[in-house]
Chains A and B, each alone.
Chain A
Amino acid sequence: MITGKRVLLQGNEACVEGALMAGMRFFAGYPITPSTEIAEQAALRLPMVGGKFIQMEDEIAAMAAVIGASAAGLKSMTATSGPGFSLKQENIGYAALTEIPCVIVNVQRCGPSTGFPTQPSQGDVMQAKWGTHGDHPIIAIAPATVAETYTQIIRAFNLSEKYRVPVIYLMDEIVGHLREGITLLRKEDIDIIDRKTEVRGGKAFFVPEGELVPSMPPFGQGFRYNITGLMHNESGFPTNSAEIARRLITRLMRKIDDNLDDIIRFEERNLFDAETALVCYGGTTRSVVSAMESARDRGIKAGMFRPITIWPFPDKQIAEIAKKAKRIIVVEHNYGQILREVERAAAGQCEIKFLGKIDGTVILPDEVLETMLNF
């Protein structure tokens, strides 16, 4: 492992390097722009550390292989983009119900459908939460820089292992293809979380009182059990019991809902006296920061709130901002997705305006500034 060094990396490459630090030892993927470099880097790097890479026959198979490898004990990841993310959804739901840790990188591109394959977008924010059918737990993280792509992917793996939940790594074309100098971490600089593997209560999905996450003994190590995408009991056997199903789904949702402070991360800038709070994430961040600084130069009290964890959404933090600021401007590369979450969390406490783009072009600092000036 190359560590402690200063290197120039593309966001997509940094994602793989961070994943390897987190302990990723399996990657299954399928080529798709603009995420392909992640598969390429994984193919190159994994065998060097004794890990496995496979290019599957399609996106669905890649997601399935990732879940299979994780069930057998390896930390596993796949990477895709728009259309591929759509294809993976059924199996993401399977991972959520069966509580198999995995990380799904989605380097967002401009959609819908084939759209603009090489152009940036943040149009999959809602899909990250609700893409698969049924109520299910999910975590989504959106890095804004190459350095953050490198460090937050480690968190993505850690959270996936800790809560046994699929984590969506919601990159975008801007962050994925950006090149920046970053400092690689050393093993001793980071905390790594591994799933619990000891058998408890004699049952695969047994959860002791006061806990929410079962242990996950890997296949092939002597504790034989069943995994199914059907509603199941603590043994992992299918059930038709409404009571067991209600308890299961409630527990799955509570894994997230009861741990918001552990899961939610965000960045705040200049919010202490801000009258105008800009809300952005991922690839829109640079333009927003630049516009905020220009606005400050002109005497406008502007600040920024940037969720790093997109799902679960930082409701509490938005509500606090809405209480203090006069207005919130939501900036995102879509038709208004996080906008609705902000409106919901702000609950009418301040004015809310939206700046979005759906044409594959980048939101520029001047456009953000203009929106502030014209509010």
Chain B
Amino acid sequence: MSTEKPSALISKYLRTQHLPHIWCPGCGHGILMRDVAKAIDNLKIDNDNVCLVSGIGCSSRIAGYMDFNTIHTTHGRAIAFATGIKLAKPEMTVIVVAGDGDISAIGGNHLIHAARRNIDLTVVVFNNDIYGMTGGQYSPTTPKGELGTTAPYGNIDRPFDISALAKGAGATYVARGTAYHAVQTIKMIQDGISHKGFALIDCISACPTYYGRKNKKGGAVEMMKWQQANGVSVEKAAGMTAEELAGKLVIGKLHQEMGVPEFTEEYQRIIDRFTVGG
């Protein structure tokens, strides 16, 4: 372990006594964890007022490391736990961090229904296109034709676009970032937290250990370079054809709808009928 003094950001937001983290060298998750910390720092939200909820998988281990009210729940159910927390304490900033399998396979039902309710949660997906914790099985976001330990002949599933899924289900803020595009991604997480309603930021991570190695994508550096080369801003993408956009990652705010009633506020209005001169 390094004897170097941790940065102010690390000291403020990480439980340094539990470091180093378990993520592999080159994993995109460490960068994305910093993005979450930086977003909260920029928004000046007190640590005490942040609840971070995770499910099961590599990304979900973030709960142990970040110095908030943290809860590492069961596989796929982070959003459902978070819904209970948010309803109980609507004044808290409740953030869900989940992997692609966690949020869109086993937890898909909770994702679409939380989006439909427009409950004020911010879901940050650490999307690495693979089940990393269990050793590299294909996930709902693994592109067609790619290899996984359970797709030895190539994945024949059609992948989910998690952003499109969230938007279709009624999420009122949707954005896509990457581990490479840290500055933009921090801003998206910030905006997602500030947005009153259900927000999802689909953050493309990188798993050089399982996904990269199996699919000959090179190491961590090559995978970051791929994100750099293929990330296209929403603004730029607007002027591109479908053919030009094939295989690209459209980065930025993809959708925002203002003025949609938020679930916990709606519920409070019911309670108020009984307490405020109802």
Contacts and interface: CB of A to CB of B under 8 A. Distances in A.
B64 A220 contact: no
A29 to B, nearest CB: 12
Interface in B24-79: 47-49, 51, 53, 61, 63-64, 67-74, 77
Contact of A229 (B61, B74, B91): B74
Contacts of B15: 226, 237
Contact of A224 (B61, B67, B109, B273): B67
B104 to A, nearest CB: 15
Interface SS of chain A: helix, strand, loop or mixed? mixed
Contact of A226 (B71, B82, B110, B267): B71
B273 A220 contact: no
A54 interface: yes
A227 interface: yes
A317 to B, nearest CB: 36
B87 A56 contact: no
Interface residues of A, number: 41
A99 to B, nearest CB: 13
B182 to A, nearest CB: 25
Nearest to B48: A222
B89 interface: yes
Interface string B112-123: 110000000000
Given A54-B83, A57-B80, A220-B89, 19 more contacts: A54-B87, A61-B77, A61-B83, A64-B74, A64-B80, A65-B83, A67-B73, A67-B84, A68-B81, A68-B82, A72-B84, A220-B48, A220-B49, A220-B69, A220-B92, A227-B70, A227-B72, A228-B72, A237-B18
A229 B85 contact: no
A220 B47 CA distance: 9
A7 interface: no
A238 interface: yes
B246 interface: no
Contact of B110 (A57, A222, A228, A229): A57
Given A56-B113, A58-B109, A219-B92, A228 B83 contact: no
Interface stretch (A33-41, A45-53, A135-143, A336-344): A45-53
B275 interface: yes
A60 interface: yes
A58 B67 CA distance: 31
Closest 8 A-B residue pairs measured CB to CB?
Answer: A68-B84, A65-B84, A64-B80, A72-B88, A61-B80, A69-B84, A57-B113, A68-B81
A368 to B, nearest CB: 43
Contact of A26 (B48, B51, B87): B87
A74 B89 CA distance: 9
A237 B70 CA distance: 10
Contacts of A62: 80
A76 interface: yes
Contacts of A221: 48
A55 B245 CA distance: 41
B153 interface: no
Contacts of B69: 219-220, 224-225
A219 B274 CA distance: 27
